[in-house]
Amino acid sequence: MIQQTKPRLFLAPMEGLGAIEFRKMLAAIGGFDECCTEFIRIPTNPHLPSLLREYNPQATAPIPQAAQLMGVNPKDLAEAAALLAEKGAHRVELNCGCPSNTVTGKGAGSSLLDTPDTLYEILYQMVQKCPVPVTAKIRIGVENDRNFHKNIRLVEDAGCSMLTLHARTRADGYSHPARWEYILEAKKQLKIPVCGNGDITSAEAALDMLEKTGCDHLMIGRQAAKDPFIFLKIQSALEKKSFYPDPSLFYQALDLFFEHIFRRPSPIGPIKQLGSFLLANHPVLKKRFLTHPYSTSIEAKQHLYLSLGSYFEPLTASA
C-alpha cells in the first residue's frame, strides 16, 4: 500500500518513562508533530480541577501537547475532557491500552477492550461533551483479538477523530513482535485516520509500516528513549534525504532534561531509567551505570555523560 499524504509523527504517551522532563528533552530535539501527557487517572468521585491542574498544552512548545485520560466512568471522563479543552488541549485521548495490573484491575486501560459497551459509552460521551477532537489508543485485545473488529468500529461510531492501534494484545506486553496486519485491517475497515504503533525501531521500519499497512500516521514510544533522533531520521527518510545526528543538539536537550529533573525531590530514579534506554546498545556501560552506588544525583548525571561517550556510533551507523 502507498501512503498518499505525509504522515504525522506522534510521541507516544508513556507512564513513568514519558514524564514531562523527557517530553521536554525530546521536544528540544524535535522531528515529531505532537506529544501527549502520561495518562491522567480519573478515579471515582474525582475533584477534576485538582486532577487537571498541572496540564499545560504549551509545556513542550513549540510542539503541542495533547492530554490522555484513563478511567471507567463516562460522565467524569467527559467532563474531564471538556475541562482539558478549556485549558487549551487541542486533542484529548482515552487510554484503552495500558497493560498495568494496577490499571486493568479497576477495569480501565486495556481492560476496556473486554467491555465494548462501556468503551463506546465513554468515548461517545467524551465526544459529545468535548469541543476538540477525541481520539482513542487501543491494543488488539486483552488475551486475544475476540473484540478487535467491534472495538475499532465503535471508536469510529462514537465520533472519534483518530484511532491509534498498538499492534499487540495486553497479554503480549511489549516483548511480542507487533502484529502489523491488524493495523492494515483497521485501515481497511475505518474511514477515520489510523495511527500505527509498535516496533517502529528505525526510519526503515517506519517506511515499512506505512507501506505494509497504509496507516495514516505513526506513533513511537520506547524507541524514542533509545534513539531520541528517531523522528528526525524518519522525517529525513520521508524526504529521501541523508541524516546525521548532531551531538550538540543532543547534549543541549539532555541538559534541559537535567535542568527540570533536578527540581524533583528524588531524581536519581528517572535519571537511571533514561540512562538504561540511552545505553541500550552498550550493555557493559549500561550495567555499570545502573549498578553504581550514587551518593548524589549530580554524580549520576556526571556518570551518565561519561557513559555516553560511545553513544553516537550506533546512531550514525543506523542513520
Check residue 105 and give its pLDDT.
Answer: 64
Same domain, 158 and 279: no
Same domain, 284 and 184: no
Any domain includes 257 = no
Q: What is the pLDDT of residues 51-99, one digit of tens each?
A: 999 999 999 999 999 999 999 999 999 999 999 999 999 999 999 988 7
Q: Per-residue DSSP letters for 198-230? A: S---SHHHHHHHHHHH--SEEEE-HHHHH-TTH
Query: Of the candidates 311, 316, 286, 278, which has an alpha carbon nearest to the alpha carbon of residue 17?
Result: 278
Any domain includes 214 = yes
Mean pLDDT over 14-29 rounds to 90
Round the average pLDDT of the chain to a whole number and report it: 93
Same domain, 27 and 114: yes
Q: Cell 512548545 maps to which residue? A: 61
Same domain, 273 and 129: no
Return d(Cα 59, Cα 133) in angstroms, integer.
20
Q: Which residues pair with 36 in a beta bridge?
A: 66
Residue 232 burial class via C-beta count within 10 angstroms: exposed 0-12, middle 13-18, buried 19 and up: buried
Any domain includes 160 = yes
Check residue 14 and give its pLDDT.
Answer: 87
Cβ pair 163, 152 in contact under 8 A: yes
Check residue 102 and give its pLDDT.
Answer: 64
Residue 98 catalytic? yes
Query: Of the candidates 96, 90, 144, which has an alpha carbon nearest to the alpha carbon of residue 120?
Result: 96
Any domain includes 150 = yes
Quote the cell numbers at residue 28: 528540544
Check residue 2 and give its pLDDT.
Answer: 43
Our measurement of the distance from residue 227's CA atom to the centroid of its chain's CA atoms, rounded to an integer in Å, reads: 14
Return d(Cα 309, Cα 304) in angstroms, integer.
9
Residue, of 102 and 295, whose pLDDT is higher: 295
Same domain, 219 and 288: no
Entry pTM: 0.93
Q: Across the beta sheet with 194-197, what order do the strands follow?
A: 9-11, 217-220, 194-197, 162-166, 134-139, 92-96, 65-70, 35-41
Listed in sequence order, the residues at least 6 apart from 273 whose beta carbon sits closer than 8 Å to its beta carbon are 16, 17
**What H or E segment, with its residue span, contains residue 80?**
helix 74-86
Q: What is the pLDDT of residues 101-119, one digit of tens each?
A: 666 667 888 999 999 999 9
Q: Which residues pair with 41 in a beta bridge?
A: 70
Any domain includes 252 = no
Same domain, 163 and 287: no
Show the domain range for 76: 9-238
Any domain includes 250 = no
Could you tell me the maximum CA-CA distance found in the chain, to the nearest angstrom?
55
Any domain includes 251 = no
The total of structural domains in the chain comes to 2
Which of the residues 35, 36, 96, 98 is marked catalytic? 98
Our measurement of the distance from residue 127's CA atom to the centroid of its chain's CA atoms, rounded to an integer in Å, reads: 21
Same domain, 187 and 57: yes
